[in-house]
Chains A and B, each alone.
Chain A
């Protein structure tokens, strides 16, 4: 029974989140004490559900792009012909992390205009780093005995990559993707400062009209999404790690 409690908690969180998005009116009495002068307690300048879906879409597009580019790059620099780029790519990843998201976002505006595009670029650049780093770690720390065996059994470079290296590195790569998604979910809210349609709109509307209820609901929806997605990824990693015969990682 005790094993089930964490699952039940997550299920409850999911149910509450969906209920809040579909029928926000139910929660009006809960948030009402936070507002003054009869201000609305539930975001009323658009549908929370639509904003949540747009938020998730932005994150999904940016993360897909980041996965494709980061994994390809990591594979390239771990092959013999790209080995020359390995040290540099490590330092670039390090340097890239020092660029604040707000700066990236603001600097992308003159080139791409206001709206979703600069947000996508900022999320893409930010999402690259954890995925690239983890893919590198995954591909460079494979047990040498396994690599020898694969080479010994006459596998081509290509077969080794797709049948041995990537499947074994998959749990670590997924951990990088999970980190990247959670960071992107939170960072996407900043996109609303340049007019992107994300849940940040709710928070910023709250900041501008001094409405704590708006700020709170925007923040909590993003937080709940992050927790649920984080757990979902952890579960997949667990299954994959077991299938690959690796000890489960935290």
Chain B
């Protein structure tokens, strides 16, 4: 039997070897803003666990290097991720001197490279296995659940990002709530307005080019400028329209951020509704008309279900984009995870930046996976086999 190598496995194994042996695993700093002292795996951990982690990484590299069954590779990826998650927590406890509240231990480049390698391996195995949409959502839930368990167990409490969190836990959840409200609220509003607008554009052809071009133009205005420009009209409304200030409309804060996100969201929703409706086969419409369906019945019974995957693709684009853009709301006092990112940049405290950036990335990533699964479940049977 000849030994066969897996091409991607060679790349992954090299990355794992580099991350485990050559790059530092954790960084120790005397306080939160001084430059740190990078430590390799053996320096960052007690001797026993250090050797164990190196051994585990060697096994993982060997398994992925060879052509092994995909399920085994996925298991290796999961175990690899779990083990670096546990060991980085141990490194934090090991490196922090007893009763020292100022010292900070954070994951270093080696940890991130290992994380990337195993994530790459997981992505590759999952792509090869082509799981059903529900299974993908389940895998996401298991991963997030695992991370939640580690967080709750206090294993990561020694890590710098959680030390930043522990000082501002209340604010964190407040900003998290604002972030999600902004992203989901503007999505909801844009679907509410964008769907009818898209249907109108589909039915009234002369309107189409004008509406789509206007929405395209809005997209060219940079987000920070649009957020800023809206301060003026909303400030005016708050002062001059009775009742506006009572429902929370103000020149700065969440109101202009909400309107800006809403305006950015309209194009994908309207454009995809138009494309989706235009893609409904003529025969389907003819047949529906032939059996005497009214326009309204045709819209809800035939056109919408057939256009749904394309419309949902628009919703996916909007949701992922809004979760990212909502970070910018912090610049105009709109709150959200961006508050920590920009505070962190201002204080050159990178742990604080991570406290804002990591949840944003996780949210966007989870939203993308869930909506992708939804899109696939709504796709007609023949496309489902192709899209996988």
Which residues from chain A sit less than 8 Å from chain B, CB to CB?
A: 34, 84-85, 87-88, 90-92, 94-95, 97-103, 106-107, 109-110, 182, 185-187, 189-190, 193-194, 199-200, 203-204, 206-207, 212, 215-216, 218-220, 222-223, 226-227, 230
Complex-state Cα separation, A95 to B229, whole angstroms? 32
A109: B residues at CB distance < 8 A: 345, 350, 353
Complex-state Cα separation, A218 to B227, whole angstroms? 12
**Number of A-B residue pairs at CB separation under 8 A:** 145
Q: Contact string, B204-242, partner A, CB cutoff 8 A, digits 1/0?
A: 000000000000010111111110110110000000000
Complex-state Cα separation, A227 to B217, whole angstroms? 8
Asked whether B225 lies within 8 Å of A106 as measured between CB atoms, the reply is no
Complex-state Cα separation, A200 to B228, whole angstroms? 12
Asked whether B364 lies within 8 Å of A99 as measured between CB atoms, the reply is yes
Asked whether A84 lies within 8 Å of B342 as measured between CB atoms, the reply is no
- What is the CB-to-nearest-CB distance from B379 to chain A, in angstroms, rounded to a whole number? 16
Complex-state Cα separation, A230 to B219, whole angstroms? 12
Q: A95-B123, A97-B368 are in contact. List 6 more A-B contacts (CB 8 A).
A: A87-B127, A92-B123, A186-B220, A190-B224, A216-B225, A218-B225
Asked whether B323 lies within 8 Å of A219 as measured between CB atoms, the reply is no
The CB with the most chain B CB atoms within 10 A, among A99, A100, A189, is that of: A100
Q: Which of B123, B229, B320 contacts A88 (CB 8 A)?
A: B123
Asked whether B323 lies within 8 Å of A84 as measured between CB atoms, the reply is no
Q: Which of B46-54, B151-159, B324-332 lies on the face that meets chain A?
A: B324-332
Given A103-B360, A186-B220, A222-B221, answer yes or no on A215-B228 (Cβ-Cβ < 8 Å): yes
Asked whether A222 lies within 8 Å of B222 as measured between CB atoms, the reply is yes
Q: Which of B120, B128, B372 contacts A87 (CB 8 A)?
A: B128
Q: Which residues of chain B in 343-388 are interfacial with respect to chain A, using CB atoms and an 8 Å cutoff?
A: 344-345, 350, 353-354, 356-357, 360-361, 364-365, 367-368, 372
Pairs across A and B, CB under 8 Å, 30 listed: A34-B232, A84-B7, A91-B123, A91-B126, A92-B120, A95-B368, A98-B324, A98-B361, A98-B367, A100-B327, A102-B327, A102-B360, A106-B345, A109-B345, A109-B353, A110-B350, A186-B220, A186-B221, A189-B222, A200-B224, A215-B225, A215-B229, A219-B222, A219-B226, A222-B221, A223-B220, A223-B221, A223-B225, A227-B217, A230-B220
Tell yes or no: B17 within 8 A of A by CB: no
- What is the CB-to-nearest-CB distance from B183 to chain A, in angstroms, rounded to a whole number? 11
Which residues from chain B sit less than 8 Å from chain A, CB to CB?
A: 7-8, 120, 123-124, 126-128, 217, 219-226, 228-229, 231-232, 320, 323-325, 327-328, 331-332, 338, 341-342, 344-345, 350, 353-354, 356-357, 360-361, 364-365, 367-368, 372
Asked whether A204 lies within 8 Å of B224 as measured between CB atoms, the reply is yes
Complex-state Cα separation, A85 to B372, whole angstroms? 21
A216: B residues at CB distance < 8 A: 225, 228-229
Asked whether B222 lies within 8 Å of A98 as measured between CB atoms, the reply is no
Asked whether B324 lies within 8 Å of A101 as measured between CB atoms, the reply is yes
Complex-state Cα separation, A91 to B123, whole angstroms? 7
Complex-state Cα separation, A34 to B327, whole angstroms? 27
Complex-state Cα separation, A101 to B320, whole angstroms? 12
Asked whether B224 lies within 8 Å of A103 as measured between CB atoms, the reply is no
Q: Which of A88, A90, A212 contacts B228 (CB 8 A)?
A: A212
Given A88-B8, A92-B123, A212-B231, answer yes or no on A219-B341 (Cβ-Cβ < 8 Å): no
Asked whether A182 lies within 8 Å of B220 as measured between CB atoms, the reply is yes
A88: B residues at CB distance < 8 A: 8, 120, 123-124, 127
Complex-state Cα separation, A219 to B229, whole angstroms? 8
Complex-state Cα separation, A94 to B367, whole angstroms? 12
Asked whether A103 lies within 8 Å of B357 as measured between CB atoms, the reply is yes
Complex-state Cα separation, A215 to B228, whole angstroms? 6
- What is the CB-to-nearest-CB distance from A228 to chain B, in angstroms, rounded to a whole number? 10
Q: Which of A106, A207, A226 contacts B341 (CB 8 A)?
A: A106
Select from chain B the residue with minimum beta-carbon distance to A226.
B220
B372: A residues at CB distance < 8 A: 94
Complex-state Cα separation, A223 to B356, whole angstroms? 29
The 4 closest A-B pairs by CB, nearest first: A219-B225, A100-B324, A215-B228, A226-B220
